[in-house]
Amino acid sequence: MDESTAIDRLEELAEEFGIQIRYEPINLDEESTHVTGGLCQLRGKYLIIINSRSTLRERIHTLAEAMNHFDLDQVYIRPAIRELLDREADPSISRNTTEEKHSQLNKSEDGESC
């Protein structure tokens, strides 16, 4: 499966879960690490924010990592996408990068996270 198809399928999966996806430029200081985005909870609803400057591969990784926070057994997922999700969830296969650290959910005092 090519990357373009993979991202389309992951976006469809997020839509099935009622998760909004927003592609926005994430501006940080030049000295900061590159952030690709991640899963947030805003006003009780989940949202995936993806840096619009990220590569297609980084977007796939961010979407897959975000979707792995949900019970994916409740819906049918094509085998190729299931394999991709499993691969992204397995830390022994996943790349150890700063983008993974930044895409973890961080709860704020008011119960929202981003």
| Tokens standing for residue 81 | 């996408």
Residue 19 lies in a domain: yes
Work out the widest C-alpha separation in the chain, in whole angstroms. 42
pLDDT bracket for residue 112 (50, 70, 90): low
pLDDT bracket for residue 30 (50, 70, 90): low
What are the DSSP E strand ranges found in the chain? 20-24, 37-42, 45-51
Total structural domains within the chain: 1
Beta bridge partners of 113: 41, 107
- Helix, strand, coil percent content, the chain, rounded in steps of 5: 40, 20, 45
Per-residue pLDDT reduced to its tens digit, 49-96: 999 999 999 999 999 999 999 999 989 999 999 999 999 887 555 433
Coil/strand/helix, residue 87: helix
Element (H, E) at 8: helix 3-16
Gap between the Cα atoms of 37 and 62, Å rounded: 6
Gap between the Cα atoms of 114 and 111, Å rounded: 10
pLDDT of residue 89: 82
pLDDT of residue 91: 57
Residue 71 lies in a domain: yes
What CATH number corresponds to the domain at position 29?
A: 3.30.2010
Residue 60 lies in a domain: yes
> 21: domain range?
3-100
